[in-house]
Every structure is written in structure tokens, then in C-alpha cells.
């Protein structure tokens, strides 16, 4: 998708919600750069849904798929690698997308209105990085409008209540697809694949928002995660959020000298002997992760006022995420069925408490915030490695497991 396409999509969003005109140029650019990779995943998924039989035939014919991969990447390489090496590097990303993302979206049988709602919810993600508090608040309010209208549309068409949850779960699938696509972009850079200038200009915008993407390229490394890693990082994110919620009445020590001293001590005391950097440099590198977590994840979750039962449901939904990498089809099916039970019980619990219809969607939305926190935690772990932090052996073992 080239730059004119992003402008066209933004214009569509402006036409639906004129209030977007109040965003600053910086917020607009940050939203577009964050939105861009996820939209590519969604657009590709929609194409798969409209041509599912064709794509499945291609997937079933391994030789035809490999020829397409070799042509797609090989023709764009400055120094072309052998065909077999190209297939070994990039084929896993195509297989993952078709089997784990596109096919799952296809099974949901979304209609055009639901696809438009997804497009708008992707565009107005208030957890995007580098947008101002005013921009995040506007996006949050617009998402509420979209969800309310989507709920009304589904009710008018006599769709089951679970339908809204299916649409919301699609957002998580697209986030998983986005993570894989960012890995693929890094590998393209490492393997001298020429990218379109428009694409590069937006990716450069992403590098300014996600510096670790550039750090990956400079360090010549590639992060490999197994199915266990997202579980651990998501649980860590949930634990951090709950700690913030319990202490929020006093705002803890955010932004104070004690806050930054604790940050410097937390990382500095774990750096290898003789390689500890100055406290001011430690704060410059790592404090933004703390600031972002509290303002963009922990505090929005706090405002939801979740109770213990809802937290337990979120914990179980994280544990049984069928979109995790490297689990079998049988395992994914079991997780999918268990999640359905959890969602049904959560809906019943909230109905018994006379919660509003939007309470369930608001609870499920917490998973999106935790996905964002997981991404940032993974970025932070990369920086820990680059700055010689000594990590616990158990922690390193989880993060060093290679993909199959």
C-alpha cells in the first residue's frame, strides 16, 4: 500500500468523523504510522476471505507457494540469495499468516459493516505510541461510538450477543499478524530486500516511534518467541497493571525524583560488573518504558474499575489465546473452546450484576491494552540485552527459546 492509499484511508476516517480534523499534525502522523502495518494485515485477510478457495489451493501446493515467495522477495533483492535460502527465511511468515490469521478471520464470516467497524477501531486505537493525551482521549471516545453503533447494528440484525466478541477478537488476531509483519520487515532489511519508497517512509516513521526496530537492524539480531513467551509477558503486563490499580489513589511516585532514582537502581544494579552506564543514561533509555506503561496501559485499565472476577477472566483469556505461536491445531481448537466458555460465564456474571451491555466489550478491550504492554516489554528485553543487564536464568530461558 503506497502513501496515497494511507491518505485515502485517512480521508475516509475524516469523512465519518470530522472531529479528526482537530488532531495535531504530529498525532495524525503517529496514528497513520501505527495504523499502517495492521491495516496491511487486515487488507490481506479480507483479500483471503474473498478468494479463499484460490489461496487454499496455493497453500496446499507447496511448490507453487515457494515459487511465489522466491519471485516476491528474490526479484527485490540487491544481492539475491539462493532460492532455497529465501524460502527458508520467509515461508514461515506466509504459512503463519494464512493458517493462523487469514483463515481465522475467514471463519468469522464478517460482513462489510463489521469490516468497516474493524477498520475504524484499528485507526482509532488509543493505545498507539507517541500520540498526545488529547489525541488518545479523542480516539478513545471515537472507539466507543464505533462499538455502540456496531452493537446496535448487530442487535438490529438479530445476531447473537457473542458476535460482538468475535469482532473484538479479530482485533487481537490482527495485532498478532502485525507483530509477525514487523519481524518480516526487519528480515527484509537484513537480507537487502528493496522496499517501495512510500513504504520505507512510513516504516521510518515507525522506527521513530519504535526505536527498537532500528536497534534490531543495527545489532543484526532477530527476536524469536515461542508460545510460552507471550503468556509470560502478558502475565507480567497484567501483574504490573494490577499493582498500579491498587496504588493509584496516591499516584504512587510517578514523575518524582524517587521514581527516576528507582528506575536507575532497578536497571543499573543488574548491569554486568564494569559495564554499568551512568544513571542519567539509564533513565534516558528505560524511563520512557515506565512512563508509557503507567499512562497508556495501567491507568486506562484502572479507569475500567474491573473486579476480581473480571481480572480472573482476563487471566484465563490470556492463558487460552489460540493465536499463540507454535501450538498445534488441536491445541488451538481446545483453547478456542475454553475461551468461549470463559466469555459465556463472564457475560452471565455481568448480566447478574446488571452491568451495561458495553461492559463485556470494555473488559475484552483490556486484552488489547495488555497486547500493547507485551510488545513494549519485549522491546525492553531487547534493550536489556544490548546494555548488558544480567537477567535471571529462568527469564532468559523463556526468552531464548527458538521457534520450530
Joined together, the cell numbers standing for residue 309 give: 472476577
Joined together, the cell numbers standing for residue 307 give: 473486579
Range in 57-61, 100-104, 323-327 with the lowest mean pLDDT:
323-327
**What's the CA gap between 387 and 391, in Å, rounded?**
11
Backbone φ and ψ of 388, nearest 5°? 60, 35
Neighbours of 366 (CB within 10 A): 22
**Residue 131 is part of which domain span?**
1-222
158 pLDDT above the threshold of 80: yes
- pLDDT, residue 217, reads 38
C-beta of residue 323 within 8 angstroms of C-beta of residue 172: yes
- pLDDT, residue 62, reads 83
Tell me the CATH number at 375.
1.10.565.10
Better pLDDT: 227 or 381 = 381
Give the tens place of pLDDT for each residue, 317-364: 888 887 776 778 788 888 888 888 888 888 888 888 888 878 888 888
The pLDDT of 130-144, averaged and rounded, is 84
82 pLDDT above the threshold of 80: yes
CA dihedral 97→32→208→386, nearest 10 degrees, is -30
Looking at the structure, tell me whether residues 248 and 132 fall in a common domain: no
Looking at the structure, tell me whether residues 211 and 264 fall in a common domain: no
Looking at the structure, tell me whether residues 209 and 63 fall in a common domain: yes
- pTM for this prediction: 0.56
Looking at the structure, tell me whether residues 107 and 215 fall in a common domain: yes
- pLDDT, residue 106, reads 92
- 62-74 b/e with 16+ CB inside 10 Å = b? eeebbeebbeebb
Looking at the structure, tell me whether residues 156 and 133 fall in a common domain: yes
- pLDDT, residue 203, reads 53
Which residue has 493458517 as its cell numbers? Answer: 99
Looking at the structure, tell me whether residues 212 and 256 fall in a common domain: no
Better pLDDT: 353 or 398 = 353
Single out the residue in 166, 190, 222 at which a domain terminates.
222
Looking at the structure, tell me whether residues 217 and 229 fall in a common domain: no
- pLDDT, residue 5, reads 62
Most confident of 188-197, 340-349, 392-401: 340-349
In the chain, the percentage of residues whose pLDDT exceeds 70 is 80
Domains held by the chain: number: 2
Single out the residue in 222, 239, 266 at which a domain terminates.
222
Looking at the structure, tell me whether residues 117 and 228 fall in a common domain: no
The pLDDT of 197-214, averaged and rounded, is 49
197 pLDDT above the threshold of 70: no
Q: Is 283 helix (H, G, I), strand (E, B) or coil?
A: helix
Which residue has 484511508 as its cell numbers? Answer: 9
Backbone φ and ψ of 77, nearest 5°? -90, 140
Looking at the structure, tell me whether residues 89 and 110 fall in a common domain: yes
Single out the residue in 192, 222, 252 at which a domain terminates.
222
148 pLDDT above the threshold of 60: yes
Give the tens place of pLDDT for each residue, 249-290: 444 467 788 888 888 888 888 887 778 888 888 888 888 888
- pLDDT, residue 260, reads 86
- pLDDT, residue 193, reads 79
- pLDDT, residue 298, reads 86
Give the tens place of pLDDT for each residue, 207-245: 444 444 343 333 333 323 333 334 334 444 444 544 444
137 pLDDT above the threshold of 80: yes
- CA quadruple 27, 44, 77, 96: dihedral sign: positive
Tell how many helices (H) and how many strands (E) occur in the chain. 19, 0
Looking at the structure, tell me whether residues 176 and 240 fall in a common domain: no
400 pLDDT above the threshold of 70: no
Looking at the structure, tell me whether residues 42 and 182 fall in a common domain: yes
93 pLDDT above the threshold of 70: yes
In the chain, the percentage of residues whose pLDDT exceeds 90 is 2
Backbone φ and ψ of 271, nearest 5°? -80, 145
102 pLDDT above the threshold of 80: yes
**What's the CA gap between 83 and 101, in Å, rounded?**
26
Looking at the structure, tell me whether residues 134 and 256 fall in a common domain: no
- pLDDT, residue 292, reads 85
67 pLDDT above the threshold of 80: yes
pLDDT band of 114, cuts 50, 70, 90: very high
- pLDDT, residue 129, reads 67
- 248-287 b/e with 16+ CB inside 10 Å = b? beeebebeeeebbeebbeebbeebeeeebeeeeebbebbb
- pLDDT, residue 246, reads 45
C-beta of residue 77 within 8 angstroms of C-beta of residue 194: yes
Amino acid at each position: 500500500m503506497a502513501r496515497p492509499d494511507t491518505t485515502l484511508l485517512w480521508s475516509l476516517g475524516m469523512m465519518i468523523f470530522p472531529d479528526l480534523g482537530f488532531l495535531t499534525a504530529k498525532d495524525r502522523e503517529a496514528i497513520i504510522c501505527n495504523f499502517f502495518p495492521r491495516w496491511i494485515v487486515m487488507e490481506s485477510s479480507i483479500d483471503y476471505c474473498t478468494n479463499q478457495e484460490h489461496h487454499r489451493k496455493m497453500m496446499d501446493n507447496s511448490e507453487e507457494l515457494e515459487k511465489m515467495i522466491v519471485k516476491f522477495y528474490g526479484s527485490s533483492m540487491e544481492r539475491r540469495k539462493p532460492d532455497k535460502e529465501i524460502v527458508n527465511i520467509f515461508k514461515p511468515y506466509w504459512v503463519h499468516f494464512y493458517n493462523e490469521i487469514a483463515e481465522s478471520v475467514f471463519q468469522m464470516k464478517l460482513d462489510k459493516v463489521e469490516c468497516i467497524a474493524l477498520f475504524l477501531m484499528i485507526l482509532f486505537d488509543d493505545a498507539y505510541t507517541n500520540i498526545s493525551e488529547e489525541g488518545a482521549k479523542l480516539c478513545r471516545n471515537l472507539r466507543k461510538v464505533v462499538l455502540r453503533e456496531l452493537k446496535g447494528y448487530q442487535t438490529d440484525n438479530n445476531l447473537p450477543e457473542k458476535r460482538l466478541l468475535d469482532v473484538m477478537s479479530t482485533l487481537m488476531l490482527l495485532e498478532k499478524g502485525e507483530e509477525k509483519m514487523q519481524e518480516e520487515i526487519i528480515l527484509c532489511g537484513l537480507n537487502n530486500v528493496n522496499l517501495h519508497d512510500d513504504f520505507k517512509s512510513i516504516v521510518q516513521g515507525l522506527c521513530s516511534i519504535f526505536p527498537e526496530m532500528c536497534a534490531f537492524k543495527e545489532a543484526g539480531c532477530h527476536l524469536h518467541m515461542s508460545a510460552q513467551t507471550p503468556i509470560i509477558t502478558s502475565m507480567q503486563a497484567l501483574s504490573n497493571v494490577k499493582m498500579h490499580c491498587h496504588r493509584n489513589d496516591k499516584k504512587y511516585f510517578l514523575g518524582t525524583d524517587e521514581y527516576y532514582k528507582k528506575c536507575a537502581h532497578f536497571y543499573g544494579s543488574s548491569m554486568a560488573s564494569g559495564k554499568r552506564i551512568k544513571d542519567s543514561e539509564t533513565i534516558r533509555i528505560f524511563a520512557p518504558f515506565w512512563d508509557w506503561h503507567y499512562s497508556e496501559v495501567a491507568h486506562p485499565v484502572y479507569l475500567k474499575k474491573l473486579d476480581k472476577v473480571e481480572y480472573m477472566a482476563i487471566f484465563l483469556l490470556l492463558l487460552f489465546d489460540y493465536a499463540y505461536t507454535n501450538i498445534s491445531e488441536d491445541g488451538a481448537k481446545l483453547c478456542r473452546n475454553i475461551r468461549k466458555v470463559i466469555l459465556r460465564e463472564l457475560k452471565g456474571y455481568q448480566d447478574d450484576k446488571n452491568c451495561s451491555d458495553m461492559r463485556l466489550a470494555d473488559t475484552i478491550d483490556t486484552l488489547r491494552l495488555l497486547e500493547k504492554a507485551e510488545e513494549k516489554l519485549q522491546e525492553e528485553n531487547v534493550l536489556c540485552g544490548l546494555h548488558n543487564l544480567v537477567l535471571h536464568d529462568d527469564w532468559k530461558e523463556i526468552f531464548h527459546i527458538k521457534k520450530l
